[in-house]
Amino acid sequence: MAVVDRLIGADGSIWSMAFGAALVTGNAVSGSWYKIATVSGVAVFPAGYTAGDLVIGNGQAFSATNSAALGTATLVSDCTEFNCQFSGAEVEVTTLSDNVKKYRKGKIDLTGTIKGNNTISEMRKTGSFLNRFLRTVAMTSAYVPTFNALSETALYGQFFMNDSATSGETQVFLFGQIDLYGYNLGAAIGDAQAYESGVRFVGNDPMVYFKDNA
């Protein structure tokens, strides 16, 4: 069986995430997202993880020194297109003895853009993409309203470079907490009602995940 190695366009989704209290007993549910609350050593969470990082459960045993909060994810929007650009600051470190200017790479900047199509089912949800910018009211046929204040729930972007679940292949995706900086409402004859937004990553640094399929 051929294994996919060269990547083509795949998938992307925006999720709102709510976290419960940090779990200090029991075991993580495999495949679920957890936000690390405390970390000590490398027996439970691999070296390099810090408090605030998200980790995927695989049966880890929680304790007071290695605890995490279970995340409940709600789909906000599927993307039709995403783009993430990485750049490093050019910090000049030239001295008087240098004939050619010298530089070091500074902090990494990560900017992005997402595009998608507006759908009624997603727009009317509490915490929807639209609800990040405007208050919304959903009404029944009898005009009974449900009011949604501006949503400020944590948003996470999951951007797949490969989303195949085929045995022997590897899923690849970028995952991190984001904020949105734009939205479109409009219509034209014969066109899908689409949106586009700038994206910035907030919170702990995002990570790229490589998940081998069984």
**Structural domain boundaries of the chain?**
11-212
CA 58 to chain CA mean position, Å: 20
Residues 6+ apart with CB under 8 A from 39: 45, 49, 50, 51, 65, 66
State yes or no: pLDDT of 147 exceeds 50. Answer: yes
Chain position carrying tokens 């490589």: 210
No. of helices (H) and no. of strands (E), the chain: 1, 12
% pLDDT > 90, the chain = 66
pLDDT in tens, 100-138: 999 999 999 999 999 988 888 888 888 888 999 999 999
Q: Which of 137, 173, 180 is nearest to 33 (CA)?
A: 173
- Predicted local confidence at residue 62, as pLDDT: 97
pLDDT in tens, 1-43: 345 565 556 678 999 999 999 999 999 999 999 999 999 999 9
pLDDT in tens, 150-202: 999 899 999 998 888 888 888 899 999 999 998 888 878 878 888 889 999 99
- Three-state DSSP state, 213: coil
- Predicted local confidence at residue 4, as pLDDT: 58
Higher pLDDT, 78 or 66: 66
